[in-house]
Amino acid sequence: MKKTEFVNAILKIKKAKSIRGIVYSYRRIDGNDLIFVREGKTKEEKIDLDELFEFYKSNEEYTNKNARKYMSLIVLSPSAAILNKLSNETID
């Protein structure tokens, strides 16, 4: 999958749940960042799309442990959650 296809697929996902049951709401893309909010919070946070795409292309299991190789520490769980959701979605 090319990065543009990846970004378009990501845009279709509005929410994803982590293995611990935390729900992340994905709001929009701003430049090279995916903007999201953690359940029960109001502060927007961001995931670097280049890092997320590298994690996606790795073909490793989308876990917090594997996310450490590609992602900033504070976004391990939301990154793994969205990629797990993406891998379970049908991509047009």
11-43 confidence digits (pLDDT tens): 999 999 998 899 999 999 999 999 999 999 999
pLDDT at 72: 85
pTM over 0.85: yes
Q: Where are the beta strands (DSSP E) in the chain?
A: 15-17, 23-30, 33-38, 45-48
Provide φ and ψ at 24, rounded to 5°.
-115, 130
- Please give the structure tokens belonging to residue 12: 């279709």
User: If you compute the radius of gyration of the chain from its CA atoms, what whole number of angstroms results?
Assistant: 12
pLDDT at 1: 84
